[in-house]
Amino acid sequence: MEDILFYDRMQFAFTITFHYLFPQLTMGLSLMIVYFKWKFLRSKIEKYNDAAKFWMKIFALNFAMGVVTGIPMEFQFGTNWAKFSELTGGIIGQTLAMEGMFSFFLESSFLGLFLFGEKLLGHKLHFITGFLVFLGSWASGYLIIATHSWMQYPVGYEVLENGKFILNNFGALFSNPWLLPSYLHNQAASLVTSSFVVAAVGAFYLLNNKHNEFGKLFVKTGVIFGLISSLLVAFPTGDWAAKNVAEHQPVTFAAMEGIFETEEGGSEIVLIGQPNMLEKKLDNKIAVPNILSFLTYQEWDAQIKGLNEFDESVHPTNVPGLYYSYHIMVGLGTIFIGLMLLAVVQLFRKRLYKTKWILWSLMFMLPFPYIANTTGWYTAELGRQPWLVYNLLRTADGASPTVSSGNTLFTLLGFIGLYLLLGLLFLMLAGKIINKGPQLNQQH
Distance of CA 125 to the CA centre of its chain: 30
- DSSP-based three-state secondary structure for 257: helix
Dist. CA 378–CA 86, nearest whole Å: 25
Q: What is the CA radius of gyration of the chain?
A: 23
21-72: pLDDT as tens digits: 999 999 999 999 999 999 999 999 999 999 999 999 999 999 999 999 998 8
The values of phi and psi at residue 287, to 5°, are -140, 155
pLDDT value of position 265: 79
164-180: pLDDT as tens digits: 999 999 999 999 999 99
pLDDT value of position 263: 83
Rounded percentage of the chain residues whose pLDDT exceeds 90: 88
pLDDT value of position 444: 39
Neighbours of 420 (CB within 10 A): 11
Read off the pLDDT band of 264 (50, 70, 90). Answer: confident
Sorted by where each begins, the domain ranges of the chain are 193-403
Dist. CA 1–CA 83, nearest whole Å: 14
pLDDT value of position 442: 47
Dist. CA 257–CA 301, nearest whole Å: 17
- Assess contact for 184 and 145: CB atoms under 8 A: no
DSSP conformation class of 115: H
- DSSP-based three-state secondary structure for 158: strand
What is the pTM assigned to this prediction?
0.95
| Nearest CA-CA partner of 224 in 35, 408, 374 | 35
Dist. CA 311–CA 307, nearest whole Å: 8
DSSP conformation class of 236: I
Dist. CA 61–CA 107, nearest whole Å: 14
- DSSP-based three-state secondary structure for 440: coil
pLDDT value of position 1: 55
What Å distances lie between residue 239 and 191, 233, 283, CA to CA?
A: 17, 8, 26
- Assess contact for 352 and 216: CB atoms under 8 A: no
The residues that bridge with 165 in the sheet, in sequence order, are: 159
- Assess contact for 115 and 37: CB atoms under 8 A: no
The residues that bridge with 242 in the sheet, in sequence order, are: none
- Tell me the CB-side half-sphere exposure of residue 257, using CA atoms within 13 A: 30
Dist. CA 386–CA 2, nearest whole Å: 13
Phi-psi region of 156 (alpha: psi -120 to 50; beta: other; left: phi over 0): left
115-147: pLDDT as tens digits: 998 899 999 999 999 999 999 999 999 999 999
pLDDT at residue 286 greater than cutoff 60? yes
